[in-house]
Structure 1
Amino acid sequence: MAKDGSESAFITKLSAISGKLMGNKFIVSIRDAFGAALPLSIIASFFVLINNLLLDPKIGVLKNIPGHQFITNVGIQAYNGTLGMMGLLVTFLIGYFLGKQLGSDGVLDGVISVAALVTLIPNIITVTSNSGKAFKASAVLTQSQTSAEGMFLGIFASIVATELLEKISKNKKLKISMPDSVPPAIANSFNGLIPALIVVALFGIFEETVVALSGSNVPDLIIKVLQAPLVGGFQNYFGITLYGFLTCLLFAFGIHGSSVLGAVSSPILLTAFQQNMSAVQANKPAPNIVTQPYVDCYIYITMFSLVIAILIASHKKNYRSIAKLGAVPAIFNIGEPLLFGLPIVFNPILAIPYVVVPIFSSTLAYFATAFGLVAKTYVVVPWVTPAVLSGFLATGGDWRASVLQIVIITVGVFVYLPFVYAANRIKDDLD
């Protein structure tokens, strides 16, 4: 009885912590912003896939078609307008969603968030020409600053700017009253004019103070202090394996692990993905093993392993029925029918392998990629894309990634089988 009580207390506490995280205004805003911007990643990946799989001058199957260079240039421009601007767009969206949570319409918050981000970017940068000569350029935004590579600076700028703007805006003395005949959108902009001016000025003062005191600029400091360690932590085998384990552990307790941890992982994994895609675009080796496509294509594809294990070994009619119903969703990486139907949630006999399988899948995927047995992922594919196809697409057409996915699913079957056999010995009312 004491054991049951302690387990109940643990689950209650874990649920409470997860609930607070999922309800946190900053995490919710970041999650919603990335959700709204996700189509841009998929659009960019579509054009990158065409350029590198079909139109590549060395291996592209359509490299000699008429107008191939025109099509290639269209893809480059589309990439620049989508993923190349991802950092700016997510900055606006975080400010927008956070502003709405704080009671405003969110539009001015998003606009000032972008203004704050650009205010933190150095006015003069060093640019290297194609000939290798370095020179100074002013009033320039580079893609490393506007794309997902500058995401962490955008998150910082949007959260701080929106919080400041909303707090300063509460001071009625700083509002400019407009006649009733003025359209609401214009009136709201003038109401927030002085608070917005103060916020942008504060960011400008902060940027110049950092440069004067440290000799470095804010983006470089963010990269050194925050972005590089976080991205590096996920590129570490133990870091990504622990992430997969914790996500599934939360699911095993009925908590949506991806939602709880996604707001933290998404900027990190998207930054790594952007670095890979930018490198491939420049005909350079992709630097990162772990990206969002890597996680989607390798770590979370093993629900179908459970379906196969049940159909092979289970004598329980309810297990077999639910496995058949959940087979098609599992092919598309939708696990809820199995999670709550068998169930896996709060069911130790199946929760244990469910939490352990990502360790095996992460191990296989990480070292296969690290040793060059499969190409690194640099194309975003929808997470519902079936295994075998998703690996092929995410790596830009590497068939070995598809083979790796088959191996991962097969290993998952062998991990689940002993537990399915054990479940046969447990009687329940549905047998």
Structure 2
Amino acid sequence: MNGLITFLEQKVSPIAAKVGGQRHMLAVRKGIISTLPLTLVGSFFVIFLNFPIPAVAEKLAPYLPILDVPYRFTVGILALYATFGIASSLALSYKLDQLTAGIIAVMSFIVTSIVPARLWEDVSTTNLGTNKLEIVAAGRYLNIANLGAQSLFGAIVTALISVEIYRFMKVKNITIKMPEGVPPEVANSFVALFPAATCLIFFWVIRHIVGFDINATLSNLLMPLQGFLAGNSLLGGLLTVLLICSFWILGIHGPAIMGPVIRPFWEISIQQNIDAFADHVPATDMPNVFTEMFLQWFVWIGGAGATLALICLFLNSKSAYLKELGRIGFLPGLFNINEPIIFGAPIVMNPTLAIPFILAPMAMTVIAYIATMTHLIPMTVSRTVFTVPSPIGAWAVTNFNVMAAILVVINFFVSLVIYYPFFKVFEKEQLASEAAEA
């Protein structure tokens, strides 16, 4: 185990750190995370569309079309918001005007999302009048579904390319320079004139002249990977857990490294579940098991590595240091914040605690997967903030299912059992160290 830790530290950690710190990867992660407030609020309204109490659901029935609006224009157009966030984040790293970069990227993404005039007959024309048909035929039809999470990869590519065009033209001084004394907001508008025109023409030609659909092509290419990592594959779910925990052991923020890769898949998966639930599909028959919410509430109990169990063991330790660390880490751990334990114990580069840090979450993943596939608990159909205590979070995202909260408690005790023997070994080492210092 020591040899493996050394190898990972010397060979893998530097590469992972470079990948995680790469400006485009950081921009993708920050841009998608910036949409979190909207998706949390929007997914909350899905509960009203499928209220678990029949009497209340009956009273809400006449208002369902109105209650659907907040969801459709938050979660339903997630890719549009992400485009602005990603472009703005990348522009900041280049010291470009963030607002201008974000607007140009949004324009570019919308151009690629509009149905071309030549494809207007593919659009359902049922109950459309003559004027509406002319609008569609003219290439002015924008399907709101094209702005959702399924187009997230197209949004990422469009945002990154548009900012790179903006940066290139500014570096090469292909801009309109205004005299001194002109207000900055006016000057920035003229500086962005050529980049905006270039992006508009570039993406217009690709989508409407060449006929290449960036969003659909990327979605088709990457959907098999999404089905593996964030669908119903147990192997894919275990691989995700293994990688996140392994990076933490190296002292690298696991979600920060995996975020640019896995988060777009997570966003697609949870939106597919929410869409199906909004269409009144039973919560046990959702398209995807391994959403981010599944891992958050059934596996990351106390944070990555399921460390709340370890904190509870620390609270009853004979070691003064571990007992004090348990006291410090308990309240944050209850709300799924475990950096004090990961770096305080430490778990980083610690062979003794690294094994259960990986083993416990993987065992919990298997248990939760079996419970989901056998319909003991529903699948996740909404989302909530990660700082909610796990039983409450699991109860909320499974349409208020009590068995989901009970499963969290069961998984907690499973992690407690797995951590216990390794904790005793670590405690013995710590006591010996404290005795030597005394």
Normalised by the length of structure 1, the TM-score is 0.88
Q: CA RMSD in A?
A: 2.6
Mapping of 1:73-92 within 5 angstroms?
73-92=65-84
Q: Does residue 1:62 correspond to 2:56, yes or no?
A: yes
In structure 2, runs of 5+ residues without a counterpart are none
Q: CA offset at residue 218 of structure 1? A: 3.0
* Cα deviation, residue 307, structure 1: 2.7
User: Does 1:242 pair with 2:236?
Assistant: no
Say if 1:231 and 1:187 are closer, same or farther in 2 by CA, change over 3 A: farther
| % identity of equivalent residues | 25
Q: Given residue 408 of structure 1, which amino acid in structure 2 is its aligned partner?
A: N
Residue 102 (structure 2) pairs with residue 110 (structure 1): yes
Distance 2:2 2:355 in 1: 18
CA contact (8 A) 1:379 1:395 kept: yes
Q: How does 1:183-332 map to 2 (within 5 A)?
A: 183-208=183-208, 210-211=210-211, 217-235=213-231, 236-284=233-281, 285-301=285-301, 302-311=306-315, 314-332=317-335
Gaps of 5+ in 1: none
Cα gap change, 1:210 to 1:224, in 2 (>3 Å): farther
AA aligned to 2:307 is: M
Match of 2:12 among 7, 14, 28: 14
Q: Deviations over 1:342-398 (max 9, x none)?
A: 222222111210111111111112222223221111211111111111111011111
Shift of 1:210: 5.0
Q: Deviation digits for residues 25-47 of structure 1, max 9, x if unmatched?
A: 11111121122211111111222
The 8 Å contact of residues 155 and 215 in structure 2, kept in 1 or not, is answered as no
Q: 1:61–1:319: structure 2 CA closer, same or farther, 3 Å change rule?
A: farther
Map of 1:25 onto structure 2: 23
Instruction: Report the residue type matching 1:299 in the other structure.
Output: V
Query: What is the CA deviation profile of residues 230-275 of structure 1, one whole-angstrom value per residue up to 9, with x for unaligned ones?
Result: 3443322111211111111111222111111112211110111111
Q: Which amino acid aligns with 2:204?
A: G
Secondary structure, counterpart of 1:430 in structure 2 = helix
CA contact (8 A) 1:86 1:148 kept: yes
Residue of structure 2 equivalent to 1:35? 33
Q: Is the 8 A contact 1:28 1:263 kept in 2?
A: yes
Q: Secondary structure at the match of 1:429?
A: helix
Whether the 8 Å contact between 1:52 and 1:60 is mirrored in structure 2 is no
**Which one-letter code corresponds to 2:252 in the other structure?**
I
C-alpha spacing 1:141/1:371, structure 2 compared with 1 (3 Å): farther
Distance 1:5-1:371 versus aligned 2 partners, 3 A rule: closer
Q: Contact between 1:210 and 1:218, CA under 8 Å: does it hold in 2?
A: no
Give the secondary structure class of the aligned counterpart of 1:383.
Answer: coil
| 1:424 CA drift (Å) | 4.0
- Alignment of 1:171 with 2:172, yes or no, is yes
Equivalent residue number for residue 100 of structure 1? 92
The equivalent position to 2:425 in structure 1, one of 422, 426, 429, is: 422
- The answer (yes or no) to whether the contact 2:8–2:250 under 8 Å persists in 1 is no
Matched residue count: 414
Q: Structure 2 CA distance, aligned partners of 1:226 and 1:304?
A: 35
The Cα offsets for residues 376-423 of structure 1, whole Å up to 9 and x where unpaired, read as 112111111111111110111111211211121111111111112323
Distance, in Å, in 2 between the alignment partners of 1:168 and 1:226 is 31
- The CA distance in 2 between the partners of 1:71 and 1:345, in whole Å, is 52
CA distance in 2, matches of 1:275, 1:234: 11
User: How has the CA–CA distance of structure 1 residues 171 and 318 changed in structure 2, closer, same or farther, with 3 Å as cutoff?
Assistant: closer
- The 3-state SS of whatever aligns with 1:247 is helix
The secondary structure found in structure 1 opposite 2:386 is coil
Cα distance in structure 1, aligned partners of 2:200 and 2:239:
40
How far 1:169 moved relative to its partner? Answer: 2.9
